[in-house]
């Protein structure tokens, strides 16, 4: 019997019992769809949390918090320059940025407008290698030029506007662009109890660029980014101790972050990178997804009972037909193959329908549930509010298909084996 004839044979017998076959396919569809949708929740929540972590962190950034010393641990500022240079020479390291913040209250003044800020002292060349982004303007070319934070202009207010803001009224801030403008940076050292009072000192800088907008709407950047050479000048002029300093290592690609992190740990550095946070998240969600797939598989197994019953009844109803096939020379192998193909066909049709339905449910839940959640909170959905309830990667479709079709074929195995054991004479004696 040719393969085409085998397909026609299966199609005819499935049409003969349309209702029974349809309900069996429906059961297989529901079982497989339940498996996909249930597991897709784990994949969706995993993606939501991963995206949130990546959006709030520079994915290639590795923070060096210090180093283990022989007698005492070293802070980032105490790590020798030679060792920092060794970090720069490591394979796949794009840049090493040393940032310092003066231990002083910072105020930005332009004309009658002012705002409190914070100064970040760093190497502009290394910052550029690390991918420091600008929304407008250019990076500083000399030490007297600075980059300001994205929200600095909006926060530059007159005294009258500051009073209005305190009353809850809306204010506009600095009108126009600050690019090319000269700002005055006022620093007043923080005082500890018993310290002699130190007067405020001021320096003028030219704004050449505005930093890019922070990743989240609730983040505000009013910083002033200046060259690291000003650190010694500020400390000497104001008689201050060096402020907070940290070292940031930037990998050239996300896939190299883990290797650099491990290499720095082996050298005794205390480090943190987003890969460590994602590693913990991945372990948890991989276990969760495996558990959800296991629970969904139970639904598929329940649906397999219907396939088993359908195929058993099919063998019983076709006893005479099987006898005729054996009488004209059909081999048991062919008979078993025909019944396995029929059970597999039920599994394939059910799986295809389940995949289509699952994608529909996934898209509907991702659109509808966030709206319901925000409505229950009495708030409008923010533009950057994204929560993925369900996502169906191709790997999940493959896993669910293998499970569903595999279970369908296993369910049809025993009825198919039973069909090959039918006695020809007794089968032919059976009435149609």
In this prediction, residue 109 carries a pLDDT of 93
Distance CA 143, CA 205 (A): 9
In this prediction, residue 425 carries a pLDDT of 65
Long-range CB contacts (within 8 A, 24+) of 229-233 = 229/143, 230/119, 230/121, 230/143, 230/203, 231/100, 231/102, 231/121
Torsion, CA 223, CA 108, CA 122, CA 270, rounded to 10:
-50
Distance CA 413, CA 24 (A): 16
In this prediction, residue 378 carries a pLDDT of 65
Quick check: is 329 in a domain? yes
Q: Which domain holds residue 135?
A: 61-252
In this prediction, residue 46 carries a pLDDT of 84
Residue 50 makes CB contacts below 8 A (sequence gap 6+) with: 278, 281
- Specify the DSSP element, H or E, that contains 139: none
Same domain, 247 and 294: no
Of 358, 334, 312, 326, nearest to 31 by C-alpha is 358
Give every residue of the chain whose pLDDT is below 50, as ranges.
432
Same domain, 149 and 248: yes
For the stretch 321-346, pLDDT in tens is 767 777 777 777 887 888 788 888 88
Domain count, the chain: 2
Quick check: is 362 in a domain? yes
Same domain, 369 and 409: yes
Please state, in angstroms and as integers, the Cα–Cα distance from residue 114 to each residue in 153, 155, 165, following that order: 9, 8, 13
Same domain, 395 and 289: yes
Quick check: is 271 in a domain? no
Distance CA 107, CA 119 (A): 9
Same domain, 319 and 422: yes
Overall pTM > 0.75: no
Same domain, 244 and 319: no
In this prediction, residue 379 carries a pLDDT of 59
* C-alpha distance across the termini of the chain, in Å: 23
Quick check: is 95 in a domain? yes
Same domain, 12 and 121: no
């Amino acid at each position: 019997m040719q393969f085409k004839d085998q397909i026609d044979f299966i199609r005819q017998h499935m049409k003969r019992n349309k209702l029974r076959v349809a309900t069996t396919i429906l059961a297989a569809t529901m079982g497989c769809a339940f498996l996909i949708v249930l597991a897709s929740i784990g994949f969706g929540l995993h993606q939501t949390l991963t995206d949130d972590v990546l959006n709030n962190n520079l994915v290639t950034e590795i923070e060096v918090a210090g180093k283990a010393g022989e007698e005492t641990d070293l802070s980032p500022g105490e790590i020798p320059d030679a060792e920092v240079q060794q970090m720069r020479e490591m394979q796949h390291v794009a840049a090493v940025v040393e940032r310092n913040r003066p231990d002083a209250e910072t105020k930005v003044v332009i004309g009658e407008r002012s705002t409190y800020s914070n100064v970040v002292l760093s190497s502009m060349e290394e910052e550029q290698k690390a991918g420091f982004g600008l929304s407008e303007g250019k990076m500083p070319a000399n030490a007297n030029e600075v980059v300001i934070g994205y929200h600095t202009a909006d926060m530059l207010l007159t005294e009258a506007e500051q009073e209005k803001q305190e009353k809850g009224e809306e204010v506009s801030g600095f009108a126009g662009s600050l690019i090319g403008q000269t700002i005055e940076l006022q620093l007043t050292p923080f005082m500890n109890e018993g310290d002699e009072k130190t007067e405020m000192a001021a320096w003028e800088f030219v704004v050449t660029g505005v930093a890019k907008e922070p990743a989240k709407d609730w983040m505000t950047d009013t910083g002033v980014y200046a060259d690291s050479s000003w650190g010694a000048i500020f400390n000497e002029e104001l008689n201050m101790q060096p402020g907070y300093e940290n070292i940031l290592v930037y990998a050239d690609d996300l896939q190299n972050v883990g290797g650099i992190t491990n290499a720095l740990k082996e050298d005794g550095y205390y480090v943190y990178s987003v890969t460590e946070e994602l590693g913990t998240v991945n372990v948890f969600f991989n276990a969760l997804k495996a558990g959800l797939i296991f629970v969904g598989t139970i639904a598929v197994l329940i649906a397999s009972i219907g396939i088993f019953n359908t195929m058993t009844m099919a063998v019983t109803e076709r006893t005479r037909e099987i006898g005729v096939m054996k009488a004209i020379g059909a081999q048991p192998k062919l008979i078993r193959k025909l019944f396995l193909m029929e059970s597999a066909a039920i599994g394939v049709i059910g799986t295809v329908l389940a995949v289509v339905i699952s994608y529909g449910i996934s898209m509907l839940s991702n659109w509808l549930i966030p709206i319901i959640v925000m409505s229950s909170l009495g708030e409008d959905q923010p533009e950057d509010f994204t929560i993925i309830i369900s996502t169906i990667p191709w790997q999940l479709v493959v896993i669910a298909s293998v499970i569903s079709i595999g279970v369908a074929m296993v369910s049809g195995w025993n009825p198919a084996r039973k069909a090959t054991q039918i006695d020809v004479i007794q089968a032919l004696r059976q009435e149609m």
